[in-house]
Structure 1
Amino acid sequence: MNEDEIKGTAKDAAGKIKDAVGGLAGDEELQAEGKAAQITGKAQKFYGAAKDSIGAAVDTARDALGHATAVDDMTGTAERVSEKFNEFVRAQPVLAMLGTAAAGYALALLIHGGSRRR
């Protein structure tokens, strides 16, 4: 688990607490802040997990190909993509959350869409 996953987990948990406290107090604004923090936390956890997965895949490819130049080029590309993605998430957190939610919804449709009972 990397730093982004840890911070994302903490934001998600804090958001759940805010949401619950807002619900108990009847404070809709606090509830909304809690829900937003949960989404932000989940997006950050997803980003951290994706970053780890990409890094592991690049390491595996490098080991399999014996540190070939092509793998080094892929590593540089993956690092640049990761940096650009990180910049985008920091600059546009709401859009990143919406994109993450859309990707999760699409994945759920792919996984569960064909298993509907008729």
Structure 2
Amino acid sequence: MNKDQVNGKMQDIGGKIQEEAGKMVGNKEQEAKGLKNQVEGKTQEKYGDAKEQVKDSLN
């Protein structure tokens, strides 16, 4: 596992928490920010996955 995979997963989880917190208090802005963080986190995680695949294919 590389840092992009870890950081991406953490951002995704944080975004889910932020989205749910926004829903609980009725704050649409926090919900939207949570969704944005989830997308960014998943993107970073996929980038990390790709890096791992390239590294593995070179070995």
1:58: Cα distance to partner?
A: 1.4
> Who is 1:4 aligned against?
4
Alpha-carbon distance in 2 for matches of 1:58, 1:5: 19
Partner-residue secondary structure (3-state), 1:53: helix
Alpha-carbon distance in 2 for matches of 1:25, 1:57: 47
Q: Kindly indicate whether residue 13 of structure 2 is the aligned counterpart of residue 13 of structure 1.
A: yes
> Who is 1:52 aligned against?
52
Aligned-residue RMSD, C-alpha: 0.5
Unaligned runs of 5+ in 2: none
1:8: Cα distance to partner?
A: 0.3
Alpha-carbon distance in 2 for matches of 1:7, 1:14: 10
User: Comparing both chains, which one has the higher relative contact order based on Cα–Cα distances under 8 Å and sequence gaps of 6 or more?
Assistant: 2
Structure showing greater radius of gyration is: 1
Unaligned runs of 5+ in 1: 60-118
Alpha-carbon distance in 2 for matches of 1:57, 1:51: 10
1:40: Cα distance to partner?
A: 0.4
Which amino acid is the alignment partner of residue 5 of structure 1?
Q
Alpha-carbon distance in 2 for matches of 1:19, 1:2: 26
Alpha-carbon distance in 2 for matches of 1:32, 1:58: 39
TM-score, normalising length from structure 2?
0.97
Structure 1 runs of 4+ aligned residues shifted over 4 Å read none
Deviations 1:68-93 (A, max 9, x none): xxxxxxxxxxxxxxxxxxxxxxxxxx
Q: Give the paired residue count.
A: 59
